[in-house]
Chain A
Amino acid sequence: MAKFRLLSGGLVCLMASACAPTFVQDRMYFDHLAKAPGGMIGSTNTAAANAALASIKKAERKNEYGTKDQLLLGMDLGMATHVAARYKESEMIFRKSDRLAELLFTQSFTSILMSYQLNDYSLPYKGLPYERVMINLINSLNYAATGDWSGALVEARKIREKLVAYNRMYPQAAGPPGNYSQFDGRARDLLSGHRISYNPSQLNHYTDDAFARYLSGVFEEAQVATGEGSYQSAYLSYKKAERTYEKYRLLYNTPIPAFLGPALLRTAEAAGRTSEYRKWRQVYPNVSYIPASGYEQMGHILFVGYNGKIFHLAQNKLAFPLPIAGTISMVSFSVPKPVGGGSGVSGHDITVRRVDGPAVYQTSSELGDDLMAIGLTNFKDHLNRIILREAIRSVLKTVEQITAQNVAYRQGGILAGLGAMIGGGIFAVASDQADIRSWRLLPASIDFSMIDLPPGTYDLSIVTRPDVSYGHGGLTERVTLVAGQYLLIRTVNPPPARPNG
């Protein structure tokens, strides 16, 4: 009997360890990034970013990402190569990841049945909607960084399609399959009895991405000169961005950014939408802008800053008494909970100088996407959808365990019953794991600024706001702009190094 228990326990432990990822890649990654001079990574000072990328590639070589975490690997590799300014490489990785995410979205019935029996680690990681959307958002910036505005626009368009498709699916969320449905009522009673909210059909609050909408407008404008873009389409994108930012203000406390006003006025006028132009003039009475004819003769810098680190997930164990087969048994299950994340950087102050000359332009970036807020809301929507399934799973396991104990007791006596209880307990503990996989390499926020300048060569001095204690004065980038050119400048402000990092 001792041998049997040891073997069973060993197998169960093997199952558990084989399925649970180690989650150390992000710590090593951010530790490397934090070593960047001034705590900031630009387009050229990429030594720290390359070291961080090497740590992810090393984890890939050592198979630290399991076979079910290939999407997570793609997301991490794509982000790390993007931060290391290897935009083409990052674009290819993200494109592959996007296809994989699409395949996983249509997952098989069998694998879902298995997740009811075991845990979500039996399913390949497919990411939450906001994470799948970020594949396209970051990838659109890969295309933008290489001047492929048509490709950037395609990525931005995919976002809306994705979000519509996801929300279309949730109201149709099926109940538990087959025999599992008999535990549905008990699980609902359990959750209601303990005032835990759940809704398997919960829709996402994240139905559109305002920053992606705004970027779509910029990408359209970048193609007006070649005839591939139009002011009509650019205007419509900015208009949708404005509407979505209004929703953002209520949902995430994100203010409507000031860079939207000039874009709306310029494109409404250029598209000949006079009544709408008048309407926007009333909304933005004091905003000055350069009309399209002059704007086309200028060079444009798209400044994008990635700040901090998004939250990650940890296990939250819940246990409740439940009457089963005439006795009171403890039903326990684990759900993920968000922890950590954030950034001390709220934005950047950018000063532009002619080479060896005085400052000609100063601006401050603004929040484009608050990924922490978007991610947390999206996660809560997801939790609302999955918590009933977790409860069903735990009720099912407890009932199976009690039944096996009773059978063992009747057939093999008290010792067999005790063995079944211990074996069942080990299995329940080993398989009761919340799925805490998430894309940990995402920043906490993305800030943005549009800088319009006459053609020429400039030095951009970029400093964080507020000036973080671990910084040493920010970053300087030299750029040369020609008329009609759009240029992406991207910075990364990782969280400060851990005390022992």
Chain B
Amino acid sequence: MSGSGKIKVFFMGAALFAALTGCSSYSVQRVSVDTEGGVTSRWTDTDARLTAKTMIRKALDAPWLERFSEKNGRRPVVQLGQLINRSDQHINTRLFLNHFQDDLINSGKVIFVTASEAHRRAAEAERKFQMEHARSSTIHGPGQLTGADVMITGSINSFTASRGGKTVRYYETHLKAIDLTTNEILWGSQYQVKKIAHQSSMGF
């Protein structure tokens, strides 16, 4: 190839390279949230399930349930209070509480009653309907509800720590069981989810 031919190839190649690479689109890769350096450090459904599973194990392993049963001769009646989101991420706390409630009920160690306003209103409307329309032997009338002994409540907080190119985000879930007669805290526990995001230091 002649000298001018080489120059032609060089410039055409350079221009093509620039045109193609300079305007190429970026891509986003999805990886498991458990993977270190995953694309998201946000709270996910997996985090909710993992936290619920761990907290249930902690709740069931702690002696507060046995102590209550020994003292009162029956299983405690539990209701779920609020799980306040104090983190910097949008967290569906209801999702976490549903996991927690289901597993605790299935353990057979507690009796659950609903604390949901919507559920209570719907049940009340149904009882009212039964009073008017159902056979008297099948009516579930007012004044028969089971009162809760214990309310479980808590919060989710988040904080971040950075070192080098890594940003570590912690989600700390606190739960406590409050005795509704005495306001004593019967049980308390916390669990941290730690997520790492890698940060390029090349930014400008």
| Contact between chains at A408 and B7 (CB < 8 Å) | yes
A53 to chain B, nearest CB (A): 24
Asked if B3 CB lies within 8 Å of chain A CBs, one says yes
| Contact between chains at A15 and B22 (CB < 8 Å) | yes
Contact residues of B between 1 and 27, Cβ < 8 Å to A: 2-4, 6-8, 10-12, 14-16, 18-19, 21-23, 25-26
| Contact between chains at B26 and A124 (CB < 8 Å) | yes
Tally inter-chain residue pairs, CB-CB below 8 A. 138
A68 to chain B, nearest CB (A): 7
Asked if A330 CB lies within 8 Å of chain B CBs, one says no
| Contact between chains at A154 and B85 (CB < 8 Å) | yes
CA distance A158 to B28 in the complex (A): 22
Collect the chain A residues with CB atoms within 8 Å of residue B90's CB: 95, 151, 154
Total interface residues on B, CB under 8 Å, equals 42
| Contact between chains at A228 and B84 (CB < 8 Å) | yes
B165 to chain A, nearest CB (A): 8
Q: Please pick, from A18, A102, A415, A419, the residue contacting B23 in the complex, using a CB distance under 8 A.
A: A18
Given contacts A8-B12, A122-B22, A408 and B3 within 8 Å (CB-CB):
yes
| Contact between chains at B28 and A103 (CB < 8 Å) | yes
Asked if A491 CB lies within 8 Å of chain B CBs, one says no
Q: Please pick, from A8, A107, A404, A431, the residue contacting B202 in the complex, using a CB distance under 8 A.
A: A107
Asked if B201 CB lies within 8 Å of chain A CBs, one says yes
Interface residue range, chain A: 35 or more
Collect the chain A residues with CB atoms within 8 Å of residue B28's CB: 103
Collect the chain A residues with CB atoms within 8 Å of residue B87's CB: 154, 157
CA distance A246 to B38 in the complex (A): 39
Asked if B89 CB lies within 8 Å of chain A CBs, one says yes
Asked if B88 CB lies within 8 Å of chain A CBs, one says yes
Given contacts A154-B90, A157-B87, A408-B7, A111 and B82 within 8 Å (CB-CB):
no
Collect the chain B residues with CB atoms within 8 Å of residue A107's CB: 200, 202-203
| Contact between chains at A114 and B21 (CB < 8 Å) | yes
| Contact between chains at A412 and B2 (CB < 8 Å) | yes
| Contact between chains at B3 and A114 (CB < 8 Å) | no
CA distance A415 to B90 in the complex (A): 65
| Contact between chains at B3 and A404 (CB < 8 Å) | no
Contact residues of B between 52 and 100, Cβ < 8 Å to A: 82, 84-85, 87-91
Asked if B113 CB lies within 8 Å of chain A CBs, one says no
Asked if B162 CB lies within 8 Å of chain A CBs, one says yes
Collect the chain B residues with CB atoms within 8 Å of residue A165's CB: 160, 162, 167, 199
Collect the chain A residues with CB atoms within 8 Å of residue B174's CB: none
| Contact between chains at A411 and B3 (CB < 8 Å) | yes
| Contact between chains at B15 and A15 (CB < 8 Å) | yes
Given contacts A173-B203, A416-B4, A419-B7, A121 and B26 within 8 Å (CB-CB):
no
Interface centre among B82, B85, B200 (most CB of A within 10 A): B200
Q: Please pick, from A68, A99, A169, A404, the residue contacting B25 in the complex, using a CB distance under 8 A.
A: A68
| Contact between chains at B25 and A4 (CB < 8 Å) | no
| Contact between chains at A168 and B21 (CB < 8 Å) | no
Q: Please pick, from B7, B25, B39, B204, the residue contacting A103 in the complex, using a CB distance under 8 A.
A: B39
